[in-house]
Amino acid sequence: MKTIGVVTTGGDAPGMNAAIRAVTRIANWKGLCVLGFERGYEGLITGTFRQMTPRNVGGIIQLGGTILHTARCPEFKTLEGQKKAAKNLHDHNVEGLVVIGGDGSFKGAYELSKICSTQMVGIPATIDNDVYGTDETIGFDTAVNTAVAEIDKIRDTAISHERVFIVEVMGRERGFLASTVGITVGAEIIIAPESKCNLDEIVSIIKQNWRKGKRAGIIVAAEGCGKVTEIAKTIEKNTSAEVRLTILGYVQRGGSPTARSRLLASLFAEKAVEILCESQGNRLVGLENGKITSIPLEESCRKSKPIDTSLLKVNEMLSI
Amino acid sequence: MKTIGVVTTGGDAPGMNAAIRAVTRIANWKGLCVLGFERGYEGLITGTFRQMTPRNVGGIIQLGGTILHTARCPEFKTLEGQKKAAKNLHDHNVEGLVVIGGDGSFKGAYELSKICSTQMVGIPATIDNDVYGTDETIGFDTAVNTAVAEIDKIRDTAISHERVFIVEVMGRERGFLASTVGITVGAEIIIAPESKCNLDEIVSIIKQNWRKGKRAGIIVAAEGCGKVTEIAKTIEKNTSAEVRLTILGYVQRGGSPTARSRLLASLFAEKAVEILCESQGNRLVGLENGKITSIPLEESCRKSKPIDTSLLKVNEMLSI
Amino acid sequence: MKTIGVVTTGGDAPGMNAAIRAVTRIANWKGLCVLGFERGYEGLITGTFRQMTPRNVGGIIQLGGTILHTARCPEFKTLEGQKKAAKNLHDHNVEGLVVIGGDGSFKGAYELSKICSTQMVGIPATIDNDVYGTDETIGFDTAVNTAVAEIDKIRDTAISHERVFIVEVMGRERGFLASTVGITVGAEIIIAPESKCNLDEIVSIIKQNWRKGKRAGIIVAAEGCGKVTEIAKTIEKNTSAEVRLTILGYVQRGGSPTARSRLLASLFAEKAVEILCESQGNRLVGLENGKITSIPLEESCRKSKPIDTSLLKVNEMLSI
Amino acid sequence: MKTIGVVTTGGDAPGMNAAIRAVTRIANWKGLCVLGFERGYEGLITGTFRQMTPRNVGGIIQLGGTILHTARCPEFKTLEGQKKAAKNLHDHNVEGLVVIGGDGSFKGAYELSKICSTQMVGIPATIDNDVYGTDETIGFDTAVNTAVAEIDKIRDTAISHERVFIVEVMGRERGFLASTVGITVGAEIIIAPESKCNLDEIVSIIKQNWRKGKRAGIIVAAEGCGKVTEIAKTIEKNTSAEVRLTILGYVQRGGSPTARSRLLASLFAEKAVEILCESQGNRLVGLENGKITSIPLEESCRKSKPIDTSLLKVNEMLSI
């Protein structure tokens, strides 16, 4: 293998730049030339790339976002688009491609792999942590800490005004972010899409807390639950609590990556380059049981990552 | 003067605790006894207070929120309620009262002063910075920095995805927060309630930026403008820009106070205790032209604080 | 089991409060009474404790330090001292004791267990991460992120002035902190006590970097290396680089715990209470291969935790 | 005026980039061409500069350090060196020069102005805040907040271990940083070079605090005091307190500028460009009594900025 490509696709996640840097430098160390495709799959289709060197990835390990940019690319979902991408990879002798992104990105890479001799290796980077084949994605730890820092601030107002705050965190249809954030901010209640959201039970907990003298409270809800306004109204109607609602929003996607997100990025990149150098086929890099591993890309696309609901149970004990 | 009271009212602001600590310790140093009334004016009406000592205000200078709590108190808006408060102050020999809060709080204190011999001194503490008689309120600098840190994160995503983000900051009907935040995050556009929001002009700026190669952008809007959704739609309809909307919300009200908010709190408190000791009458402490000053409480309630729109003009040059 | 004790000993670590909270609430949920001994082993010897309830551990999950205090206790190293502690535990019917601390703390607990029927369970909490039986200790992730944030700031000056900065991080005789911090700040060189520090090699790397145009640089050194001043002088003497030295110091021990430190604290606490309830004997809780586990306390005291030097090798590739 | 230069000199300070950006954009808006000289006065001597445009100063407002770099330049202290600089400015038709830096930088600019027709305007940027002619320098507010955040962390350990920490902050021979940091972290004692450091008094305060039950404590000392080790030993010898010493060091110089440092940078830049456009002569921009002003450069070099020691007196009351 002489030339590889690297691309960031899907929603940006903190640590993508650390991964770009690590892929570039490790590949370079091993004698490979690295091309950085811009704006996600759009860059593959249009053939827009820049040469990546150890120097032009200097000073980016600590930056959020992605210097290669990312974009949604409807054209890549068509066979037409994929063929253009395959041709560009072929024309520039790109024998391996490192795809840094999430769930949807890997589905795209897998489709592309069917019509293209370039070997695909996925590096999971998304704040949602919803990629099968890894216990943790790049950016997840950063997003969790960002949300925790925000809610630590909101708690000041919650306690001062003795109010209940419902805080909606990201995570799309999954509760990975909500459950980890919830337990680490000391939330009274965590609402994840994977567990039923029982309004009666929520009302009952708020009432109990009131009796215990806990007038302030934090409820962490995943955006996938989709009914925070209804929950707020139900609590206000049925209890003495004053309720406020906050949607954390896009701040969770940015910011300087935590040490852990940077470390994962570096170790995933090393593994990805190794897989390419050893021609192991289309694979997804991951962290499983504390070790850096990989599984077939196809397997990751086919399966859905299960959530560990035991956190929710532990939180019930922690929030008494 | 032997006994004074201290109370925090209205929305909480970072630095209120630093002010409580400073009032307590400086008054104590001068031989005064300090009573801390709880839950804002509600505590005056119900006579709920605790004795404040140098030791029980230790370790709070760095905490957001207010250890005395705060609450809305409709009853205090009635003469009935005010009379109860006046009676409680009289019964506990409270000769001076330090009111830490915002605009509405001082109007309340002024009303109370009409039927009560207790001398009132206001310390302006609100993230909105909309109190006449002071160039800066306790908490404003903290809220600005919190919003700036958030938007620095959002910029990562804005640049990575080449999107325009409209970020709504607090500030109620005024643009103090929006204009200072806007200029310090390097916003492309600032929308303050005090200046007309011209949709055509906004669209024209976004188009110009696009031509200059500036695809990403930040628009900072004050909540008082009230039409961020409309602005987002108009831009998307008339330009090539992808637009996202984020409402920063309650995080701006919490968090550890900045050095400046803590310093103002300490210096305002010293002035407030001095005013009480010298029986200067009902006054509001403030910062004017870099000096700690005071004006009659009545004057602050009567006048509206002008905004310096020159920041908006400077920002036009800075955002080219 | 009806009554258990909890104590924090050794150097403080961020997340100790989260662990105290979790032990208290989970034990309470399971019907146990919890006594919190103060000032580490000193509190066992003097019998100084407070009753821990779900309410008095509220609002502490986000605080650095330990509300139970900690202290060095030479007397506890004597049999005399241990006997006093054993008697106090017996007199207050403390059947199980949760010891939150580091290496030395567990050696103390193991000694105590020899003369005392109280069951000992250790929860590893130290920023040094040097406890056998766990891949990660409470506080380590926080200290790493604190050091990374500091060095991100120092890098600004390093680059602006084109200087080499040697930054000494904590970690006592071990390089866990230095190696994780080094790789995540993008250090040019990492100096860990476990690997030889070759001055010639360091000089050679700095010279190479200079030729590549990398005039600024960060060297992360563990305090256990003990010769940062000598390294600084050698570099200045043998290269064109200007060198500055910074010792990060105690800031690494404090601060609000990261989400990960809080999560570990909560899960370790749950395991510790479970071990006590099931009378599994004197054990140390840990994280191994991504799972919450435990080993005999005696084993942890007897063995030394190996360091994964592969991080240092990866960093060689990353710093080209 | 058609062409101006901009240069950053002396120690770096957070907000220098915001000032570079503002000078460039505002000058550009007014039709001027801007040259950015590199590595401080060294760039003037060697004639090393780059063309500054609104686009190449994009995305830097939030970055610490200076993209133009800075360096010590002994040659510029000689008439020889100054003549080379003057010739380069003349050869490139640089009619005005904005010098962003500290005390020493302005002395250099003033010397240069004597042999050079280029008009000099100084923008004060140093974390030390020791420039005559301005109440606040760019970077000061950031350094204060950085130090405060550090000491807030150290306090966790101070309280947990019930120790006294002496924290040495920067500030060279002046106590601006120490006094503002000291009052805003709630220091028990502040040691500034401008006030006598009475060891007996310090010992007496620590003893009193011990009797009051305040075992933990923070002493903030300016580096210019120069005897923190002696102070530590004296306290340990004469009181029951355990003492630890921490030198904050270079972290205070880096990091993302606070909103206030960014705002000052923007407003100072506007004033500087205005002075050049109006050919007002060699001047220093400043903030006085809350207003943006300017004084002759020569006056700033001749006079020494007085310190407001009233902060130290307020802190005596606040630390009871």
Q: Is A180 found in the same domain as A36?
A: no
What is the SS3 assignment for A8?
strand
Q: Give the model confidence (pLDDT) of D141-198 as tens digits.
A: 999 999 999 999 999 999 999 999 999 999 999 999 999 999 999 999 999 999 888 9
Q: Is B294 found in the same domain as B249?
A: no
- Residues of A223-260 as b/e, b for ≥16 C-beta within 10 angstroms? bbbeebeebbebbeeebebbbbbbbbbbbbbbbbbbbb
Residue D94 to chain B, least CA–CA distance (Å): 22
Strand ranges, E, within chain D: 3-8, 33-37, 49-52, 96-101, 119-124, 164-169, 189-191, 217-222, 243-247, 283-288, 291-296
Interchain pair D185, B61: CB under 8 A: yes
For residue D183, the chain B residues in CB contact (below 8 A) are 262-263, 266
H helix or E strand, kind and range, residue B89: helix B79-91
Q: Give the model confidence (pLDDT) of D189-248 as tens digits.
A: 999 999 888 999 999 999 999 999 999 999 999 998 988 999 999 999 999 999 999 999
Interchain pair C62, A183: CB under 8 A: no
Q: Could you tell me if A215 lies within 8 Å of chain C, comparing CB atoms?
A: no
Rounded to whole angstroms, the Cα distance separating C198 from C210 reads 19
Residue C158 to chain A, least CA–CA distance (Å): 11
Rounded to whole angstroms, the Cα distance separating A288 from A49 reads 33
**How much is the mean pLDDT over chain A?**
96
Q: Could you tell me if A318 lies within 8 Å of chain C, comparing CB atoms?
A: yes
- Residue B312 placed within a domain: no
pLDDT value of position B11: 95
Task: Tell me chain B's radius of gyration from C-alpha atoms.
Answer: 22
Reduced DSSP (H G I as helix, E B as strand, rest coil) percent helix, strand, coil of chain D, to 5: 45, 20, 35
Rounded to whole angstroms, the Cα distance separating D126 from C76 reads 50
Q: Six-digit token pair at A54?
A: 């150890």
Q: Give the model confidence (pLDDT) of D20-61 as tens digits.
A: 999 999 999 999 999 999 999 999 999 999 999 999 999 999
How many Å separate Cα A89 from the centre of its chain?
27
Rounded to whole angstroms, the Cα distance separating C32 from C51 reads 12
Catalytic residues of C: 128
Interchain pair A152, B255: CB under 8 A: yes
Q: Is C221 found in the same domain as C238?
A: yes
Are C209 and A53 in contact by the 8 Å Cβ rule? The answer is no
DSSP 8-class letter at B138 = B
The backbone region for C94, taken as left when phi is positive above 0, alpha when psi lies in -120 to 50, beta otherwise, is beta
> What's the full length of chain A, in residues?
320
Which has the closest alpha carbon to B206: B236, B185, B246? Answer: B236
Q: Is D264 found in the same domain as D130?
A: yes
Point out the catalytic residue in the list D128, D135, D152, D156. Answer: D128
In the block, which residue shows the tokens 């002395």? D107
* CA distance to B249, D112, D301, per residue, from D80 (Å): 59, 11, 21
Q: Is A150 found in the same domain as A11?
A: no
Catalytic residues of B: 128
Are B13 and B138 in contact by the 8 Å Cβ rule? The answer is yes
The domain of D14 spans 3-139+257-302
Rounded to whole angstroms, the Cα distance separating A40 from A55 reads 22
pLDDT value of position B122: 98
Non-local (6+) Cβ contacts of C145 within 8 A are: A145, A258, A259, A260, C258
Q: Six-digit token pair at D183?
A: 């009052």
For residue A162, the chain B residues in CB contact (below 8 A) are 39, 69, 71
Rounded to whole angstroms, the Cα distance separating D120 from D296 reads 10
* CA distance to A273, B100, B211, B272, D263, per residue, from B124 (Å): 59, 6, 45, 11, 22
Which has the closest alpha carbon to A132: A295, A289, A7, A10? Answer: A295
- Residue A309 placed within a domain: no
Q: Six-digit token pair at D195?
A: 């006030």
pLDDT bucket at A304, cuts 50 / 70 / 90: very high
Are B216 and B162 in contact by the 8 Å Cβ rule? The answer is yes
- Tens-digit pLDDT profile for chain C (320 aa)? 899 999 999 999 999 999 999 999 999 999 999 999 999 999 999 999 999 999 999 999 999 999 999 998 999 999 999 999 999 999 999 999 999 999 999 999 999 999 999 999 999 999 999 999 999 999 999 999 999 999 999 999 999 999 999 999 999 999 999 999 999 999 999 999 998 889 999 999 999 999 999 999 999 999 989 889 999 999 999 999 999 999 999 999 999 999 999 999 999 999 999 999 999 999 999 999 999 999 999 999 999 999 988 999 999 999 99
- Residue D290 placed within a domain: yes
Nearest to A157 among B153, B156, B250 (CB): B250
Give the chains touching C; criterion: ≥3 Cβ pairs < 8 Å. A, D
Task: Tell me chain C's radius of gyration from C-alpha atoms.
Answer: 22
Angle, in degrees to the nearest 10, between helices C16-29 and A310-318? 90
Nearest to B157 among A63, A71, A250 (CB): A250
Are D10 and D104 in contact by the 8 Å Cβ rule? The answer is yes
Rounded to whole angstroms, the Cα distance separating B116 from B97 reads 11
Which has the closest alpha carbon to B100: B291, B299, B310, B271? Answer: B271
Average pLDDT estimate for A165-170? 97
Non-local (6+) Cβ contacts of D278 within 8 A are: none
Give the chains touching D; criterion: ≥3 Cβ pairs < 8 Å. B, C
Strand ranges, E, within chain A: 3-8, 33-37, 49-52, 96-101, 119-124, 164-169, 189-191, 217-222, 243-247, 283-288, 291-296
The CA-CA-CA angle for residues A116, A119, A125, to 5°, reads 115
- Residue D310 placed within a domain: no
Q: Could you tell me if C250 lies within 8 Å of chain A, comparing CB atoms?
A: no
Rounded to whole angstroms, the Cα distance separating C318 from A57 reads 10
Rounded to whole angstroms, the Cα distance separating D318 from D320 reads 6
| Mutation site, B177, B181, B266, B311, interface D, largest D CB count within 10 A | B266
Rounded to whole angstroms, the Cα distance separating C284 from C133 reads 7
- Residue C318 placed within a domain: no
Residue C51's DSSP bridge partners are C35
Q: Six-digit token pair at A76?
A: 């890549």
Rounded to whole angstroms, the Cα distance separating B289 from B270 reads 18
**Phi, psi of D237, deg, nearest 5:** -70, -35
Q: Is A149 found in the same domain as A93?
A: no
Does D71 have pLDDT greater than 90? yes
Q: Six-digit token pair at B210?
A: 């696009």
Q: Which three-class secondary structure string do you get for chain C? A: CCEEEEEECCCCCCCHHHHHHHHHHHHHHCCCEEEEECCCHHHHHHCCEEEECCCCCCCCCCCCCCCCCCCCCHHHHCHHHHHHHHHHHHHCCCCEEEEEECHHHHHHHHHHHHCCCCEEEEEEECCCCCCCCCCCCECHHHHHHHHHHHHHHHHHHHHHHCCEEEEEECCCCCCHHHHHHHHHHCCCEEECCCCCCCHHHHHHHHHHHHHHCCCCEEEEEEHHHCCHHHHHHHHHHHCCCCEEEEECHHHHHCCCCCHHHHHHHHHHHHHHHHHHHCCCCCEEEEEECCEEEEEEHHHHHHCCCCCCCHHHHHHHHHCC
Give the global pTM: 0.97
Q: Is D263 found in the same domain as D238?
A: no
DSSP 8-class letter at A15 = T
Q: Is D103 assigned a catalytic role?
A: no
Q: Is B214 found in the same domain as B275?
A: no
Residue D142 to chain B, least CA–CA distance (Å): 9
pLDDT value of position D124: 98
Nearest to A180 among C148, C259, C320 (CB): C259
How many Å separate Cα B151 from the centre of its chain?
19
Q: Give the model confidence (pLDDT) of D237-293 as tens digits.
A: 999 999 999 999 999 999 999 999 999 999 999 999 999 999 999 999 999 999 999
Interchain pair D213, B152: CB under 8 A: no
**Phi, psi of A193, deg, nearest 5:** -65, -25
Which has the closest alpha carbon to B223: B247, B207, B203, B202? Answer: B247
Pairing mode of beta strands A217-222, A189-191: parallel
For residue A155, the chain B residues in CB contact (below 8 A) are 254
Does D79 have pLDDT greater than 90? yes
Q: Is B211 found in the same domain as B179?
A: yes
In the block, which residue shows the tokens 């839950």? B39
- Residue C317 placed within a domain: no
Rounded to whole angstroms, the Cα distance separating D14 from B285 reads 31
H helix or E strand, kind and range, residue B218: strand B217-222
Q: Is D237 found in the same domain as D161?
A: yes
CATH of the domain at C19: 3.40.50.450
Point out the catalytic residue in the list A12, A91, A103, A128. Answer: A128
Nearest to D64 among C12, C63, C156 (CB): C156
In the block, which residue shows the tokens 């500091």? C150
The CA-CA-CA angle for residues A106, A270, A288, to 5°, reads 65
Strand ranges, E, within B226-305: 243-247, 283-288, 291-296
Rounded to whole angstroms, the Cα distance separating B198 from D11 reads 44
Number of domains in chain A: 2
Rounded to whole angstroms, the Cα distance separating B74 from B71 reads 10
Rounded to whole angstroms, the Cα distance separating D99 from D105 reads 7
Q: Is C282 found in the same domain as C171?
A: no
Which has the closest alpha carbon to C130: C63, C168, C61, C178? Answer: C178
- Residue C310 placed within a domain: no
Does B29 have pLDDT greater than 90? yes
Residue D232 to chain B, least CA–CA distance (Å): 23
Terminal CA-CA length for chain A: 58
Non-local (6+) Cβ contacts of A136 within 8 A are: A129, A264, A287
CATH of the domain at A234: 3.40.50.460
Residue B78 to chain D, least CA–CA distance (Å): 37
Q: Is C154 found in the same domain as C21?
A: no
| Mutation site, C17, C32, C62, interface A, largest A CB count within 10 A | C62
- Residue B313 placed within a domain: no
